[in-house]
Structure 1
Amino acid sequence: MKLSTVFLLAALGFCAVYAADVVDGEVTDDAPKNSQEDDDLTIGASPDAGLAFHFVQPSDANVVREFYTGKPVKYLIGFQNKGEKDFVVKYAETSFRFPTDHSYHLQNFTRGEYNRRVAPKEEVTLDYGFYAHETFAGRPVGLVVNVHYQDADGNVFVNNVYNQTINIMEDDSGFSGETGFLFIFFVALSIGGLYLSNQFLSKLSRKSGLSKRRVVEQGTSSEVDFEWIPRDAVKNKEKRSPATVSPKARKSAKKAD
């Protein structure tokens, strides 16, 4: 075996030991779960139980086996009691495995707790959902779903209802809840900025108008532009207006008389 292959297998084993469950904010260690799950799988399925598996979201996952990061994956599990004793469906375990060796765990999701009693000749449908993390984008992974249940005598059974390699695709829609929130935030920020700028410019224009008004009221000008007045009107006004005579000249005129 090549040295590079040995290093690759060692690295994958290291990742499997420290893989964590990120669904619903819960974190679980994989090492004890692997040994427990392997022991449970040796028990096998009950001949009196019939199980079915079907993806409901995305709807074409049953055919193409492709999931997108950041989008929900939902499936249904059908359980049929074909025997004469009650069954209790305890929980379902969902996990990502290394595609070429499903004994290596990449991620364990929060298990679906059901504790659902199924009477003889009765059928029930159970559901579960998870999100594929963006770190798995662009790579194939093994998806394994195991259902744990027991009969009325306390015998424990495990059915492997799904064990296939799937492809995790990157979500290229370009829109998410976080993107939408940021978009709304920046729009609101822009509107607020425009409103404040408008208020500031309005106050500035009002102050400028008042200062201009005060300058016009206080200042006077002795220069008059008569160019716009017709010359005839100016001449007629000069003829009609009496000559201005000073008071001293009037007194002198009276004495002379």
Structure 2
Amino acid sequence: MIGRRLLVLTLGLLALGFVHCEDAADGEIVDEGAPVTAPIDEEVGGIGPSSDAALSFLFTQPSSANVNRELVAGKLVKYLIGFQNRGEKDFIVKFSESSFRYHQDFNYHIQNFTLGQYNRRVAPKEEATLDYGLFVADQFAGRPLGLVVNVHYEDSEGRYFVSTVFNETVSVLEDDSGFNHETYFLYLVFAGLLAGAFFLGQHYLNKLTRKAGMTKKRSAPVETGTSGRSEVDFEWIPRDVIKASEKKSPKPVSPRQRKAQKAE
């Protein structure tokens, strides 16, 4: 009797294992290395979206991220959130929260960004556009990241809702625009150092030239006084005329010679 029960139990376990193997074979094959993306409008903390609210999401910077899901490291990312009230009660949009997640496990937070505060009332059958921006750090360049954006809101009766407007894997690319603020600052400092070295070198050379006596000094004027030479220029008078005038002019005679001549 006991042996018959053991046989039946063994056959039952084998049958259950066979059925489980068939179900696993018929199911989808999951690649553990593929990015994991959570569904849109998932429940956050047990709180889900409202059926009377329709939300949309759009990247504005860079706009190409709407197609290729690529962000640039070191750049600002901006996006718009559209909120449409399809119900009969007012909604008050409280805030939006954005975060980077590990791309293979969206439950693992890498970076949480500042909340986008709105506190905006949306009446029935009306729409509202909300904006937000976040900065992608350079350290994330070359990495895939999960970007999650949740919007928190409540209706006029105080019921609270959370809608996930974006929940996908994005690629962070390196900035290859050629302009880098750090490089520009280094070039500016280098140019300042060169200019300072030039002025210091010029000042040093001027000092050396002054010490070596290479700078010219003005000579002081020297008074020569009146010379004994005649100021009349006789070069233009012919020599014959000068000789003739010298013969005709009497030689000067002293007073003694004059007295002697008179006594004779």
TM range (shorter): 0.5 to 0.7
Post-superposition CA distance 1:154-182 (Å, at most 9, x none): 11100010011111112233432232222
| Cα distance change on mapping 1:105 and 1:211 into 2, 3 Å | closer
CA distance in 2, matches of 1:116, 1:126: 9
Match of 1:91 in 2: 95
CA distance in 2, matches of 1:211, 1:122: 86
Residue among 46, 52, 57 paired with 2:56: 52
Question: In the alignment, does 2:155 pair up with 1:169?
Answer: no
| Cα distance change on mapping 1:209 and 1:126 into 2, 3 Å | same
| Cα distance change on mapping 1:170 and 1:147 into 2, 3 Å | same
| Cα distance change on mapping 1:200 and 1:89 into 2, 3 Å | same
Using the TM superposition, give the Cα deviation of residue 120 of structure 1 relative to its aligned residue in structure 2, in angstroms: 2.0
Once the two structures are superposed, the pairs formed by residues 174-193 of structure 1 within 5 Å of their partners are 174-193=178-197
Match of 1:66 in 2: 70
Instruction: Report if the CA contact (8 A) 2:93-2:151 is conserved.
Output: yes
Instruction: Report if the CA contact (8 A) 1:148-1:158 is conserved.
Output: yes
- Counterpart of 1:201 in 2: which secondary structure? helix
Match of 1:198 in 2: 202
Post-superposition CA distance 1:93-151 (Å, at most 9, x none): 11111112211112111121111121222211111111222222212111111100111
Post-superposition CA distance 1:169-203 (Å, at most 9, x none): 12233432232222222212221221221122123
CA distance in 2, matches of 1:140, 1:43: 28
Q: Please tell me the residue identity of whatever aligns with 2:141.
A: A
Which runs of 5 or more residues in structure 1 are unaligned? 1-37, 214-257
* Paired residues, number: 179
Q: Please tell me the residue identity of whatever aligns with 1:141.
A: L
- Counterpart of 1:199 in 2: which secondary structure? helix
CA distance in 2, matches of 1:144, 1:133: 16
Q: Please tell me the residue identity of whatever aligns with 2:177.
A: S
CA distance in 1, matches of 2:94, 2:215: 83
Match of 1:3 in 2: none
Residue among 106, 111, 114 paired with 1:110: 114
| Cα distance change on mapping 1:211 and 1:187 into 2, 3 Å | closer
| Cα distance change on mapping 1:211 and 1:66 into 2, 3 Å | closer
CA distance in 2, matches of 1:82, 1:40: 22
Instruction: Report if the CA contact (8 A) 1:76-1:126 is conserved.
Output: yes
Question: In the alignment, does 2:88 pair up with 1:76?
Answer: no
Once the two structures are superposed, the pairs formed by residues 211-230 of structure 1 within 5 Å of their partners are none
| Cα distance change on mapping 1:211 and 1:79 into 2, 3 Å | closer
Using the TM superposition, give the Cα deviation of residue 206 of structure 1 relative to its aligned residue in structure 2, in angstroms: 2.9
Instruction: Report if the CA contact (8 A) 2:73-2:172 is conserved.
Output: yes
TM normalised by structure 1 equals: 0.63
Question: In the alignment, does 2:130 pair up with 1:126?
Answer: yes
CA distance in 2, matches of 1:132, 1:93: 15
For the aligned residue pairs, the C-alpha RMSD in angstroms reads 2.5
Instruction: Report if the CA contact (8 A) 2:209-2:215 is conserved.
Output: no
Larger radius of gyration: 2
Using the TM superposition, give the Cα deviation of residue 211 of structure 1 relative to its aligned residue in structure 2, in angstroms: 8.0
Which runs of 5 or more residues in structure 2 are unaligned? 1-41, 218-264
TM normalised by structure 2 equals: 0.62
Post-superposition CA distance 1:11-57 (Å, at most 9, x none): xxxxxxxxxxxxxxxxxxxxxxxxxxx97452211112111100011
Aligned-residue sequence identity (percent) comes to 58
Match of 1:12 in 2: none
Structure with more of its chain in helix, by fraction: 1
